[in-house]
Structure 1
């Protein structure tokens, strides 16, 4: 017995990456030949003889039919408003045509490493539940026409995905298994109880990232830019710079937790995690930069106070010259040597040290260029990898 799917009209309702499944509403049309149902042309006195009979769906339960099921199905149901959405037609040679409308929610193992710039492949598997390949074989359309052009889809619009005709692998007769080998769609898949014929149709969903750009990437980037404003604020305004640093860190933390709350918990790092993690690192470094500025400022002030104390002490150690000295020129020359040799040497060393020391103003100036340059290098590296 050979079974075939003549036509399947699809309408994808939703793709849920959190629950790892997708839902389809479609018409499943099957055809097979049963010689026991063959009949001759019936002449009822009409202009044309009857070569096929369309009977009520109630007779479908009285006939033999393939026990088709969906191995990766999570739940499904037939449509019954206002009556059971199905029909049965029998041709004179015993060929049976059935059409049924149903909704199926199937599992889809999604890989979110590139989220939200990812592309997902979800498949629906069709198979006989009890009959092996010795008893039944499934084909797309027919045995001789595996590239079925009759399979079509309705106008499908998904808010979060791009979906078109090129993304429906319904008229392909081969697929790649996990080892990368090519096998026919209707080839038998080895099971514990024997070999079973299986059809697989693959859907490709390209995620639209516009929503995530507006809700995640753009706000996170603006928060990073706001954290750089502190580089232009006076270093003496400690409350202003501290508040900016703390608020930007809290905002980035909220974005990270809110984004991952809407995603399934996975053990690998996603693209959005890399972006938010890098943004979080930048705002933390901006706050640490101000701490380093404050430390450098305090260190420089302490150095200046020490230098001032040392200069003042040298002047206090100058000897007192008296008019009773016998040799005024010699005493004055000696006094000049005694009074000025030590301070001049210390001051020269301090000035040379001050020339090469790091100033807190230099840190802010360097940060104004270093942080944007780091982001630019990160973006360029991402473009090269892509």
Structure 2
């Protein structure tokens, strides 16, 4: 009946049944095309979402969450904050007059250092977290259990009066926004975090510098006089001082020993080498003290530099003694000259005089000195100049050193003693 009625209506309108069927078929075709196009778009969008990496998953989840969170939640958060702050007095601490407010403190250390030995302080970058309960900020909401707020809310509520007692100066970070976070739970619990860089005082005991270890405190409290202290155990890395001070000092001492292999009559060469090494040690000592405060006690570095300076200075004194006694042996005293002339007048043959540098060598000097040494009148010095003087009771119990072999003795004595000093020094300060 419906088809016959439609055919009759079409006939009255002048349209055939075939044309009516064709129109219906076209309309259904357009509907199928629209549905197919919609499905293709949905599939393309799904494939695009699947092509995102792990870094974009958070963005996708955030977008989904934003889509899922109804607008009523934002309105609820605004309403909650307005109700909480309507009669809130930030100048009064929570539960004033009833019980004390307990503050839980946490510290997360981002970095520590450098440690300044001159200023007696160290630098530390921390995230300082404080947690307490403020019953005035309780609220009832089934959808908003935690309110995460930015720094704009920090100035609207009461904050603990926490101070750092041993800080010389402290800075909060404000780039790109103030590094502050505030969270409020529905039971009134509050979490407040702040990033800070603090220069804190630390009294350093530098007896073992630069192999020293310290325990530096970070003291914080409230104006209710409750103190809390965190200690940071620090040990110094001495690589810089090894390269800057220890190795140059050791090399300078070794360089001063080169003079022991230079001939004793090469006075300009040995004198120039000795003066150069002494001046170098003086410079190194001054540079080493620049990295230390003006303390009244001796540090480990001071001891090492001083001993190295003494070794260099002793090497120069060694040549001065060698030169002096060698010159004294070659030059006869005035008394010997008179004895030589008197013996010449008595009929003894005159002996020739040979020039040696700036002194005169007398061939009859040894014979005349022999009698004086045996008499025990002139040979009272520590060093024995003549083989004959080694005999006799007046020389017993004394050390006989041949002055001409002083360089040979120094080649063994100086390196051995310096090696023993280094062994005792490093073992004492590093392991004892």
Q: Kindly tell me: are residues 83 and 18 of structure 1, through their superposed partners in 2, closer, same or farther at Cα, counting changes over 3 Å?
A: same
| Residue of structure 2 equivalent to 1:364 | 407
Larger proportion of strand: 1
| Residue of structure 1 equivalent to 2:146 | 52
| Residue of structure 2 equivalent to 1:267 | 296
Q: CA deviation at 1:29?
A: 0.9
| Residue of structure 2 equivalent to 1:222 | 251
Decide whether the 8 Å contact of 1:220 with 1:276 is kept in 2: yes
Q: CA deviation at 1:262?
A: 2.5
| Residue of structure 2 equivalent to 1:338 | none
| Residue of structure 1 equivalent to 2:353 | none
Decide whether the 8 Å contact of 2:180 with 2:192 is kept in 1: yes
- For these two proteins, the number of residue pairs brought into alignment is 294
2:220 to 106, 126, 134: 126
2:206 to 103, 112, 130: 112
Deviation larger for 372-381 or 309-318: 309-318
| Residue of structure 1 equivalent to 2:30 | none
Unmatched tracts of structure 2, length 5 or more: 1-100, 350-364, 375-384, 391-399
| Residue of structure 1 equivalent to 2:187 | 93
1:24 to 119, 124, 144: 124
Decide whether the 8 Å contact of 2:164 with 2:221 is kept in 1: yes
Deviation larger for 345-354 or 61-70: 345-354
Q: CA deviation at 1:227?
A: 0.9
Q: Match of 1:8, SS?
A: strand
Q: Quote the RMSD (CA, aligned, Å).
A: 2.9
CA distance in 1, matches of 2:113, 2:335: 76
Establish whether residue 257 from structure 1 lines up as the match of residue 289 from structure 2: no
Higher relative contact order (CA 8 A, sep 6+): 1
Deviations 1:50-98 (A, max 9, x none): 2111233222222122101100111112111121111111111111011
CA distance in 2, matches of 1:347, 1:63: 104
Q: Kindly tell me: are residues 113 and 348 of structure 1, through their superposed partners in 2, closer, same or farther at Cα, counting changes over 3 Å?
A: closer
CA distance in 1, matches of 2:176, 2:367: 105
Q: Kindly tell me: are residues 319 and 86 of structure 1, through their superposed partners in 2, closer, same or farther at Cα, counting changes over 3 Å?
A: closer
Q: Match of 1:240, SS?
A: helix
CA distance in 1, matches of 2:320, 2:241: 33
CA distance in 1, matches of 2:200, 2:242: 29
CA distance in 2, matches of 1:344, 1:102: 85
Q: Kindly tell me: are residues 39 and 202 of structure 1, through their superposed partners in 2, closer, same or farther at Cα, counting changes over 3 Å?
A: same
Deviations 1:171-219 (A, max 9, x none): xxxxxxxxxxxxxxxxxxxxxxxxx222211112211111111111111
For normalisation by structure 2, the TM-score amounts to: 0.62
Deviations 1:312-347 (A, max 9, x none): 865763499xxxxxxxxxxxxxxxxxxxxxx99858
CA distance in 2, matches of 1:319, 1:26: 98
Q: CA deviation at 1:34?
A: 1.2
CA distance in 2, matches of 1:25, 1:344: 81
Decide whether the 8 Å contact of 2:107 with 2:126 is kept in 1: no
CA distance in 1, matches of 2:368, 2:114: 79
Q: CA deviation at 1:267?
A: 1.2
Decide whether the 8 Å contact of 2:117 with 2:291 is kept in 1: no
2:227 to 190, 198, 215: 198
Q: CA deviation at 1:122?
A: 1.4
Q: Kindly tell me: are residues 316 and 347 of structure 1, through their superposed partners in 2, closer, same or farther at Cα, counting changes over 3 Å?
A: farther
Larger proportion of helix: 2
Q: Kindly tell me: are residues 354 and 309 of structure 1, through their superposed partners in 2, closer, same or farther at Cα, counting changes over 3 Å?
A: farther
